[in-house]
Amino acid sequence: MRVTFKEQDQQKEGLQRHGDGKQNKLLKGAALLGGAAVLSKLLGTLQKIPLQNVAGDVAFGIYNAVYPLYILILFAATAGFPVAVSKFVAERVMEGDHSGAKRIVVVSSALLMSAGLLLFLLLYFGAETIAGWIGITQTATAIRSVSFALLLSPVLAVLRGYFQGYQNMVPTAVSQVIEQLIRVITMVALLLYLVALAYDEAWIAAGATFGSVTGAGAGLVVMAVFWRRKRRRDARKATAAGSETEQVISSWQWAKRITIYAIPVCLGAIVVPLLTLVDTFTMPRLLEASFGSELEAMRQFGLYNRGLPLVQLVVMVASSMSAVLVPAIAEAKLSGRVDLIRFRAEMSVRLAWVIGLGASFGLAFLAVPINLMLYTSTEASWTMAVLAFTALFSTLNAVSASVLQGAGAIRTPANALLVAIVLKALGNIVLVPRWGIDGAALSAVIAYAAAAGLNLVQLRRSTGVRFALRPYAVSPTLAVGLMGGGLAALQGLAMLATAAWHVPERWGASAIALIGVAGGAAVYALALLRSGSISREELRLMPELERKLAPLLARLRPRRSSRGRSNPK
């Protein structure tokens, strides 16, 4: 049978449409998952503010000492398993072995439930010992409270990996949002209840950490509903289609394969929580030695943690931007386009630099009004201002790590963070006794700067990217100067106005902070666009942003080119 050229072209078009449809499904799934992750992180970050407002800095400090410990243990136990489960489930699905995909869920659940039970017992019965290691006995109650989440989170992780193996990101996205929502509701409800009954700070912090338990339970219920629906659909399809392909692989073999694949991912995932956990195991002891009181040590630790949610919001934006970098860089690498790799890498780092720089200086300039708006007092505003600069280096670290992963340099980001962990621990030991929480903030800036610097050095070696002086120093410095001058003038005028009109102090600070954030960001962005630090070609990395800013860019620089920077196609 002969096939005409027209028929061949039609077949190719059909295959291309099928491939495009599959790629679009993946992109939509990744976008959905990224949006859900941003929303859940936003809820998780902002939940800390009512805790400090209602319960005070001592309970806030206890919570921030315990929660990173839970995250570390959770990541160590489960982080790699959703990835491993999704990989092996996808392979079974491609072979038509849907029963094998379900067996992977059963085996993985048994593995992780055993690990979760063991870790629960260690945390619950070892809470006093762990609290002794931290140096604050009041953390024991919160450690016991959060330990129950380890009985639920493992199965939740496995079910998410199962649906991701089918390239269905909806269950994971919905469960993430519901998990965080229930967690926040539980935390606020228990917070108000325990404060009303005059419980001490240890029990209030334990109530806040218990939100992780109810959140995990809610997420598990959501995943169970999706699982049940899918089983019904699969049963109907199996009845209509008849027998399916099935490979007989023992449960022991599956357990071995999944564990071997998951462990390296788990080890890589725990590096970031370890950096946060350094403060938990060093700062309370150092602060207690300086102030001579466990209660004051926890209060100081709470003050230190005021600035972290704001930094995390900035890094969250950078992380969402990073989601498009790995495939973009990997695609350029596979096509052998060295010039395209270099262009995309340099553009990504420059965008991270200008975003992080503007956010850091903006938070530092507005530290006093933001502190008063969110946390009812101006205590530790200088600490918040210093800590704001971790936003710059954390953003650079997140984006450069994503670019390096796309370029194939997977180990460098983890090694850089290990160096940062050592520097953070040493920095705390040296600086906290001298300058208290200001010293801890400075050590954080040094640690993240070192990690970002190591990534950028490796990035230059791997991609040949160059960091020119004008787009990285001259234009952003001018933009920061204009933003700083505007914010200083705004705060000066606002102070005169609030004094003349007798505006309540917190209301005035809130107005200054909100207007300052919006106005400062606008001034900074306009200065960057007007100076040519960001060009039209570079905005094409993010089409949504380009669509919004392209008309403004055309009006600001109608006769200017992109200053010699070309976009390899």
Least confident piece of the model among 215-229, 256-270, 374-388, 393-407:
256-270
| CB of 475 closer than 8 Å to CB of 565 | no
| Cα distances (Å, whole numbers) of residue 45 to 76, 159, 432 | 21, 25, 25
- pLDDT tens digit string along 263-286? 766 666 676 678 888 999 999 999
CA distance 142 to 74: 16
Q: Evaluate if residue 449 carries a pLDDT over 90.
A: yes
Task: With cut-offs at 50, 70 and 90, classify the pLDDT of residue 441.
Answer: very high
| Cα distances (Å, whole numbers) of residue 454 to 178, 222, 393, 404, 451 | 38, 41, 11, 11, 5
Please work out, in degrees rounded to the nearest 5, the angle formed at the alpha carbon of residue 25 by the alpha carbons of 19 and 28.
140
Q: Mean pLDDT across the stretch 472-476?
A: 82
Q: Evaluate if residue 40 carries a pLDDT over 80.
A: no
Q: Evaluate if residue 2 carries a pLDDT over 70.
A: no
CA distance 553 to 376: 40
Q: Evaluate if residue 250 carries a pLDDT over 80.
A: no
Q: Mean pLDDT across the stretch 31-56?
A: 71
Q: Between 121 and 43, whose confidence is greater?
A: 121
Q: Evaluate if residue 3 carries a pLDDT over 50.
A: no
Q: Evaluate if residue 438 carries a pLDDT over 90.
A: yes
Among the listed residues 212, 211, 215, 204, the one whose alpha carbon sits nearest the alpha carbon of residue 54: 204
| CB of 105 closer than 8 Å to CB of 154 | no
Q: Mean pLDDT across the stretch 139-145?
A: 93
Q: Evaluate if residue 477 carries a pLDDT over 90.
A: no
DSSP class of residue 562 equals -
Q: Mean pLDDT across the stretch 370-374?
A: 90
- pLDDT tens digit string along 480-523? 999 989 888 888 888 788 777 877 888 888 888 899 988 888 88
Among the listed residues 58, 62, 77, the one whose alpha carbon sits nearest the alpha carbon of residue 134: 62
pTM: 0.76
Residue 247's pLDDT is 54
Q: Evaluate if residue 9 carries a pLDDT over 60.
A: no
Q: Between 337 and 135, whose confidence is greater?
A: 135
Q: Evaluate if residue 406 carries a pLDDT over 70.
A: no
Residue with tokens 């946060």: 276
Q: What is the residue-averaged pLDDT of the chain? A: 79
Q: Evaluate if residue 195 carries a pLDDT over 50.
A: yes
Residue 432 in tokens: 């906290």
Residue 148's pLDDT is 94
Residue 495's pLDDT is 78
- Contact partners, residue 283, CB within 8 Å, separation at least 6: 301, 304, 428, 432, 437, 440
Farthest-apart Cα atoms in the chain, separation: 92
Give residue limits of the domains in the chain: 477-556
Residue 319's pLDDT is 59
Q: Return the sign of the alpha-carbon dihedral for residues 452, 453, 456, 457.
A: negative
